[in-house]
Amino acid sequence: MTQIGIGASIVIQQELGTALFSPSWDNTPIVSADNEETNPSDLIYVKVKEIKALISGTFRIKFIMHSGGGFTSYAKIYKNGSAYGIEHTTTNSTYDPPITEDLQFNANDLIQLYIKNTNSYNTVYVMNFRLYGSPYGQFIINLN
């Protein structure tokens, strides 16, 4: 067993390696989060959030988004710089309900959120980029 840290104040014991589990998402804890609001206006996909997974497994990814100017805004999960998840869109001027995807990642994969707009006068807002999973592992948030 190796001791690893979770957050700033919790330390748990866990064997390192692959996390093999069938997740039940009821009451599943957040294992990493970047809650800061980001609002670029790029017309091509740009990376705005990134988390590095240090264990393998299936994780639930959630985030919220809205369009600042009523034009179509897009968001997509990437893995290691390549498109991986479903393309999500919105034209709402207030935050939509959370977008959720359950995706598999290997240890050391980069879990990334990319966003873009259809109009340079529009801004897409995203926040609460959260990774849920069990068992607990250690994740690193890379702030852009």
Residue 38 DSSP one-character state: B
Residue 69 DSSP one-character state: S
Range of lowest pLDDT (3-7, 53-57, 97-101, 113-117): 3-7
Domains of the chain, earliest start first: 30-142 (2.60.120.40)
- What would the mean pLDDT of 120-128 be, rounded to a whole number? 89
14 or 98: which carries more pLDDT confidence?
98
At 90 the pLDDT is 93
Structure tokens at 130: 């959260």
Contact by Cβ (8 Å): 58, 103: yes
Contact by Cβ (8 Å): 37, 49: no
d(CA 28, CA 30): 7
- What would the mean pLDDT of 129-144 be, rounded to a whole number? 65
Q: Quick one: pLDDT band at residue 119, thresholds 50, 70, 90?
A: confident
Confirm whether pTM is higher than 0.85: no
